[in-house]
Homo-oligomer: A and B are copies of this chain.
Amino acid sequence: MGRGYGFANRDIVSIRSFTREEIDYILEVSGTMEPLVEKGSDMLRGKVLAELFFEPSTRTMLSFQTAMYKLGGSVIGFAEPGVSSVWKGESLADTVRVVESYSDVIVLRHPLEGAARFAAEYARVPVINAGSGAEEHPTQALLDLYTIMKSKGRIDGLNIVLMGDLRYGRTVHSLAYALSLYDVKLRLVSPDLLKMRREVIEDIKDRIEVSEHTDLADVLLDADVLYVTRIQKERFPDLGEYEKVRGSYAVNLDVLKRAKEDLIVLHPLPRVDEVAVEVDSTPFAKYFEQARNGVVVRMALLALVLGAVE
């Protein structure tokens, strides 16, 4: 209470607009939400969240819904394919101004870079970006940080590996930026075709140690966190190339034999076979807990921007 970060009515558009202190505070508030998942709360009673998803993202959508419901609020809105046709022919500026007249906060998912910022400029109610274009997905980055913090007790001092599709994977860009606010070593493991974009690395390499690899074996030994993302077949011009890559960036019990015993494996889900099912029942696996953590982090964000927590 009263640390005065001024979250009330603030838009959550980009992870880049937060200081480390602000992120730490969001993670702290997230922790206070844990008991409310079980018992519910009236904190946001009478408040309405509008979900405006211009591309599908069911897990994110359901996660925000549950977050709102656990705090006693309500949810209106639409998912693809409905939403595009519904608002077709209307400018995003008009849609946002109509939808805000029915709601107290808007969660927006949009295929275009910058859509969330644009919406935030038009809306009087706070706008939370649930993914826009290829680069920003701030609430995913926050729940990833929260999961690391909760599992390891700290973020500073960790060796963190991001592996898989680091080029098109929306979540890794926001996460890499967020991690750069902490004292971590970041190792990027991917096939050449899917290396992280140059501008993201430029952006963070002055603050933290970043290295790029094509082989997980180079960095697994002292890794504390292994964050795996899906490699999509469509990215490869040649199917044979894809099949080869697919095997090299998969995690299974055999691979994990060479890992520290307190390594945690994260994945934004859904997975195909990047993480073998046999890993699920090991202490390494934190990806289902990660999904669950999305609820408390989103509860925290909703409570903050709606002024229910200061």
Contact = CB atoms under 8 A, between A and B. Distances in A.
A234 to B, nearest CB: 13
A40 interface: yes
Nearest to A65: B76
Given A41-B46, A46-B40, A62 B94 contact: no
Interface residues of A, number: 50
A101 B295 contact: yes
Contacts of A288: 97-98, 101
Interface in A250-289: 269-272, 277, 288-289
A66 B70 contact: no
A214 interface: no
Given A48-B69, A94-B269, A101-B292, A79 B82 contact: yes
Contact of A50 (B36, B62, B87, B270): B62
B270 A56 contact: no
Nearest to A61: B76
A296 to B, nearest CB: 11
Contacts of A294: 101
A120 B69 CA distance: 24
Interface string A67-105: 001101010111100100011011101100111011100
Given A89-B270, A272-B89, A99 B50 contact: no
Contact of A291 (B93, B101, B292): B101
A304 to B, nearest CB: 18
Contact of A59 (B36, B63, B98): B98
B66 A269 contact: no
Contact of A66 (B48, B59, B90, B91): B48
A58 interface: yes
A52 to B, nearest CB: 10
A293 to B, nearest CB: 8
A92 to B, nearest CB: 12
Given A46-B70, A90-B271, A101-B291, 4 more contacts: A39-B46, A62-B99, A65-B76, A66-B74
Pairs of residues from A and B, 8 with the lowest C-beta to C-beta distance, nearest first: A40-B46, A69-B74, A101-B292, A90-B270, A66-B102, A101-B291, A58-B86, A65-B76
24 contacts: A38-B46, A39-B46, A40-B46, A48-B69, A58-B86, A62-B76, A62-B77, A65-B76, A65-B102, A66-B102, A66-B103, A89-B270, A89-B272, A90-B271, A91-B277, A93-B277, A94-B269, A94-B270, A94-B271, A97-B288, A98-B291, A101-B289, A101-B292, A102-B295
Interface of A: 36, 38-41, 45-48, 50, 56, 58-59, 62-63, 65-66, 69-70, 72, 74, 76-79, 82, 86-87, 89-91, 93-94, 97-99, 101-103, 269-272, 277, 288-289, 291-292, 294-295
